[in-house]
Amino acid sequence: MSQKTRVNYIVGFLSITFIISFLVINQNNVTNNGNILKVDQSDFQFNILPETILLEESLKISSTGLNSTHTRILYNPTSQRVGVSWVDLFQPYTPAAISSIKFAIGNSSTSWGSTVDVASVTDTMLMGYNPTQDKNGTSHFIFDEFSVDNYDINDVPVENEVSVTSKESVVTNSGNSTCPVTIFGLNGLVHLVWIDTTDNPNGDLYYRYYNATDDSWSTPTTRITNGAEVLTDSPPALAFDENNTLHLIWVDKRTGDQEIYYSYLDEGSAWTSEEKITTVAYAPINPRLTFDNSSKKLLLLFRDNGTSTNLYYTNAQAKQGAGLWSSPVVINSYLAPNSDYDICADTLGNNVLVFEQHASSRYTIYLRHKNTNATNWGGNQRISSLDKPAHDPSVTADLNGVFYFAYAEEYQSATTEVYLTYGSLDSDNDGLSDYDEINIYGTDPLDADSDDDLLPDGAEVNIYLTNPLSSDSDSDLMPDFYEVDYNFDPNNATDASLDYDNDDLTNLEEYLEGTSPINTDSDGDSLSDGSEVNDYNTNPLDIDTDADDLPDNYEVQWGLDPLTWDDISVDPDGDGLATESEFYLGTDPTNADTDGDGASDFDEYRYGTDPLDPEDYPDIGNGIGDYQDLLIGLGVGFGTLVLFLGFSILIARQFRPKDRSKRRALERDEKEFFTAQTEKGRKMTYEIEEKEAIKAILEKRKDLLTTTEILSEPTDAIEEELPVETKALPEEVVPTFNEIIKSKKETMKEAIVALKNYDKQLEEIVKKKMTAFMINTASREALAEFASDSQTLLGEAKAIWTSTILPLIKGYEEALHIDTLEAESIIDDCSASFDKILEILVNREMEIVDEEAKREEIRELAHKAVDDQEERTSEVEEEKEPENNEDSEV
């Protein structure tokens, strides 16, 4: 074994030990991410996530510079346009404060018009308003307004979406008329329900409707409840079913408990007797109601006004009374205090709800989706930004299955503006909405890859611009996924005739042969793909086409036939070694004396010398090597003499006078002293290096620590002693909870930024260094360096989590909940990237080890082949001996 071989073995052993140790340490985090080394269909498999709503980027609708809130959203099926209304609050409140109702209209494909000033309310903010459009497209803004000593209900119609008409009085009573809710019915009427204390100080429900044909409100007013105690700060909820039946839900305290009641109105009939549909230990409030035309069910949301922050959901078939509604289930447990929410069902059997979630000091708008046939609601999907608080969400749907979401979000530190976004359901999660797949692209909304070319439909439309209904968009006989994987142009057929790797095979021929169009030698046998296909007719994906254990390039090099397996037993040079043995030994099968030292390859193998080293040959009595034998004899004699002299000196030292024993003891003590001092020095050096390493890590993470968490450094300065009467104890400033949270959030934000940086670096290693080409061509030292760099990045990211984030959130877990989740997500991403890097490196190391093991096996096979050949030669000679004897006798 040469020195170079020994070094390679040592480096390989250390590398695999280093990498496997990483694998063992992180075995709980390792996932099977695969290792793409060549084109295969499994490389293009993609996971189908749960269906989701594809949301467009949010659009800011308002720009008043005030505090916009109380968003409401409506859809006009005639014009197919969406209207958004809101209230601008004047703050701080004064008796002369004015709050304004605003309105804007647009849709997903056209720009939004200018904001319309609908109405101004003086003295106090209205308790409720609800915009509705009649059959002529006129929007009615019906709201309660304080007048003199009580609340009345007024209507401001807006014609042609922009023309504001005069305010009209709808309800004027001696009591308070509040919380109006309206809805447009299939019969072309606008229906109104409100709470009134005129006949009952505890509050009853009343009903009127508006007929756009004759521009009139119905008379007389209908009283729905009698002797009820309707909760005056909880507006009722309305919904129409397919039979034009009007359904009503409200909160009532007539029995002492705060419960939900239900009644409905068939067209041409009277309101049914109210029924209590909940019997719960909590206090329901603010119901929201919609009708799902697919399941024929009423869907109801309400919140708990008690001690919890739960949002509840229940449902029932239309006209079902007490005991037939489903048991309320918790949709969300982190509902913001006094927040709004909404629910909507489209015409395609999709249900969507929106709500405001409170976590830490942040308010964020989320949606959840459920198909009418599904049992459970899907997970939370964020709508608003995580950086700014948002509230008051509202939702509606058009006839094409597009959902529109309006909400208020902080725009600047002193103002809040209204934003709108929209999106459609993506059932197969391929990046295309169901509506677009059906009506625009003709793809299957339930199949993420309609043409089965291993590219998702959304990626083909939005990224690669290929045809999602054709697996070969440019008809060049190369599939789209193949061209995308090798960075070809899937829309240009000319690249099929190109030869990117210059191996004399076109890209199309490479695809048909299964070879790599970017690797000249796909099987690594030192023969180009083109030469194997065009010249030798060998398999470019198999290093040994004829399976005779002789590589194709070896047989081509020495004039053997790479397509015939039986040429392993021939002996072209007649040196007594077959080609199989010559291959394993590395000798030239066409030259009997490969190294030209005068001894045949067979003799060198027989006598244990190297047939590839001209300086190493056997002495077999033929005169070769006599001078070297003389030198060897002299060397052996000289060595024997040295050993004899050394032994003599050793015996002589044993018979020295006894009085020298003390000196030997002193020498032994001195040696032990220096040994102990050396060990002590090593220990001190290790401790110093360890302290320096810890100091370096702390210095590196110093920017992640808040000023309140860094210990003050001691100072050498000596304060001048002041007179006793001038010294005063400093007043201790105790930070408020909000100040503490603000400081911790700033620190958390810095830590998250640092974590994102580590995550980005790990992703860059995966994208740039973990490619098949880099991994297969890198040395073992480079692979070990990749592993070391990745481990360092992951270690530093986890150090931020351990040393900064965990101490930071201790005692403030709920307030920093969202930030903690974000940090955990980034740490998980870092670990996933590291696991992927590690698995790729380990797979490559295993391949290298397999190659070395195969070479060792080849050496053993060479020895065995030679031994078998000698045995066969011996048997032939034994058979010839009797014949020779007979000839002698004759």
Q: Cα separation of 27 and 208, whole Å?
A: 69
* Tens digit of each residue's pLDDT (9 = 90 or more) over 526-565: 899 989 899 998 999 998 888 888 898 888 888 888 888 8
Q: Is the dihedral of CA 465, 468, 469, 474 positive or negative?
A: positive
- Assign 3-class secondary structure to 305-342: CCCCCCEEEEEEECCCCCCCCCCCEEEECCECCCCCEE
User: Is the Cβ–Cβ distance between 808 and 740 less than 8 Å?
Assistant: no
pLDDT of residue 165: 92
User: Is the Cβ–Cβ distance between 618 and 599 less than 8 Å?
Assistant: yes
Closest CA to 835 of 17, 22, 15, 68: 22
Residues in the chain: 890
Relative orientation angle of helices 817-889 and 780-800, to the nearest 10 degrees: 160
List the alpha helices (DSSP H) in 52-185.
none
Instruction: Give me the mean pLDDT over the 850-857 stretch.
Output: 75
Torsion of CA 43, 48, 49, 52, to 10 degrees: 130
Is the pTM higher than 0.75? The answer reads: no
Residue 306 pLDDT level (bands cut at 50, 70, 90): confident
- For the chain, helix (H) and strand (E) counts, in that order, are 16, 31
Instruction: Give me the mean pLDDT over the 302-319 stretch.
Output: 88
* Tens digit of each residue's pLDDT (9 = 90 or more) over 176-212: 899 999 999 888 899 999 999 999 999 999 999 999 9
Closest CA to 521 of 221, 814, 773, 253: 773
pLDDT of residue 38: 35
Give the 3-state secondary structure percentages of the chain, helix then strand then coil, rounded to 5.
Answer: 35, 25, 40
**Of the given ranges (85-94, 253-262, 763-772), which has the lowest mean pLDDT?**
85-94
Asked whether the predicted pLDDT for residue 148 surpasses 90, the reply is: no
DSSP state of 260: E
pLDDT of residue 775: 81
User: Is the Cβ–Cβ distance between 223 and 197 less than 8 Å?
Assistant: no
The rounded Cα 868 to chain-centroid distance in angstroms is 59
> What is the residue type of 318?
A
Q: Cα separation of 267 and 554, whole Å?
A: 93
Instruction: Give me the mean pLDDT over the 817-846 stretch.
Output: 87
* Tens digit of each residue's pLDDT (9 = 90 or more) over 783-809: 888 888 888 999 999 999 888 888 888
C-alpha distances (whole Å) from 101 to each of 72, 119, 122, 193, 356 are 11, 5, 12, 20, 22
pLDDT of residue 77: 79
Asked whether the predicted pLDDT for residue 626 surpasses 70, the reply is: no
Instruction: Give me the mean pLDDT over the 594-618 stretch.
Output: 85
* Tens digit of each residue's pLDDT (9 = 90 or more) over 412-421: 767 888 999 9
Long-range pairs, 489-498, Cβ under 8 A, ≥24:
490/464, 490/466, 491/465, 491/466
Asked whether the predicted pLDDT for residue 850 surpasses 50, the reply is: yes
CATH of 52-427, one of 3.40.50.720, 2.120.10.10, 2.40.128.50, 2.130.10.30: 2.120.10.10
DSSP state of 230: B
Q: What is the mean pLDDT of the chain?
A: 79
Asked whether the predicted pLDDT for residue 494 surpasses 70, the reply is: yes
Residue with tokens 């709980």: 28
Instruction: Give me the mean pLDDT over the 839-847 stretch.
Output: 84
Residue 42 pLDDT level (bands cut at 50, 70, 90): very low
Asked whether the predicted pLDDT for residue 162 surpasses 70, the reply is: yes
Asked whether the predicted pLDDT for residue 90 surpasses 50, the reply is: yes
Q: Cα separation of 490 and 279, whole Å?
A: 63
Long-range pairs, 607-614, Cβ under 8 A, ≥24:
611/585, 611/587, 612/586, 612/587
Domain coordinates in residue numbering, the chain: 52-427, 454-606, 624-654, 738-874
Q: Cα separation of 695 and 581, whole Å?
A: 61
Q: Cα separation of 500 and 491, whole Å?
A: 17
pLDDT of residue 14: 42
Residue 634 pLDDT level (bands cut at 50, 70, 90): low
Q: Is the dihedral of CA 820, 824, 825, 826 positive or negative?
A: positive
> CA 859, 864, 866: angle at the middle one, nearest 5?
100
For the chain, percent of residues with pLDDT exceeding 70: 75
pLDDT of residue 707: 38
Asked whether the predicted pLDDT for residue 276 surpasses 60, the reply is: yes
pLDDT of residue 464: 92
Asked whether the predicted pLDDT for residue 31 surpasses 50, the reply is: no
User: Is the Cβ–Cβ distance between 73 and 132 less than 8 Å?
Assistant: no
In our burial notation (b when 16+ CB lie closer than 10 A, e otherwise), range 215-237 reads eebeeebeebbeebbbbbebbbb
**Of the given ranges (316-325, 328-337, 861-870), which has the lowest mean pLDDT?**
861-870
pLDDT of residue 600: 86
Could you tell me which residues are beta bridge partners of residue 648? Answer: none
pLDDT of residue 126: 53
* Tens digit of each residue's pLDDT (9 = 90 or more) over 557-598: 888 888 888 888 888 888 888 888 888 888 888 888 888 888
Phi, psi of 251, rounded to the nearest 5 degrees: -105, 130
Residue 649 pLDDT level (bands cut at 50, 70, 90): low
Q: Higher-confidence residue: 569 or 661?
A: 569
* Tens digit of each residue's pLDDT (9 = 90 or more) over 513-527: 999 999 989 999 889
pLDDT of residue 668: 62
* Tens digit of each residue's pLDDT (9 = 90 or more) over 205-229: 999 999 999 999 999 899 999 989 9
Instruction: Give me the mean pLDDT over the 123-134 stretch.
Output: 70
User: Is the Cβ–Cβ distance between 420 and 369 less than 8 Å?
Assistant: no
Q: Output the six-digit token pair for 289.
A: 């109601």
pLDDT of residue 36: 27
Q: Cα separation of 28 and 731, whole Å?
A: 52
Q: Output the six-digit token pair for 531.
A: 């030469």
Residue with tokens 């449902």: 315
List Cβ neighbours of 719 (8 Å cut-off, separation of 6 or more).
Answer: none
User: Is the Cβ–Cβ distance between 401 and 424 less than 8 Å?
Assistant: yes
Closest CA to 312 of 277, 264, 350: 277
User: Is the Cβ–Cβ distance between 367 and 343 less than 8 Å?
Assistant: no
Residue 653 pLDDT level (bands cut at 50, 70, 90): low
Q: Cα separation of 314 and 126, whole Å?
A: 30
* Tens digit of each residue's pLDDT (9 = 90 or more) over 279-305: 877 889 999 999 999 999 999 999 988
User: Is the Cβ–Cβ distance between 461 and 486 less than 8 Å?
Assistant: no
> What is the residue type of 668?
R
User: Is the Cβ–Cβ distance between 433 and 441 less than 8 Å?
Assistant: no
Asked whether the predicted pLDDT for residue 317 surpasses 70, the reply is: yes
Q: Higher-confidence residue: 19 or 507?
A: 507
Closest CA to 403 of 348, 363, 441: 348
DSSP 3-state assignment of 498?
coil
* Tens digit of each residue's pLDDT (9 = 90 or more) over 754-788: 999 999 999 888 888 888 777 877 777 888 888 88
DSSP state of 568: G
Q: Cα separation of 598 and 578, whole Å?
A: 20
Asked whether the predicted pLDDT for residue 747 surpasses 80, the reply is: yes
pLDDT of residue 602: 85
Residue 711 pLDDT level (bands cut at 50, 70, 90): very low
Asked whether the predicted pLDDT for residue 664 surpasses 70, the reply is: no
Asked whether the predicted pLDDT for residue 889 surpasses 60, the reply is: no
Q: Cα separation of 783 and 779, whole Å?
A: 6
pLDDT of residue 648: 58
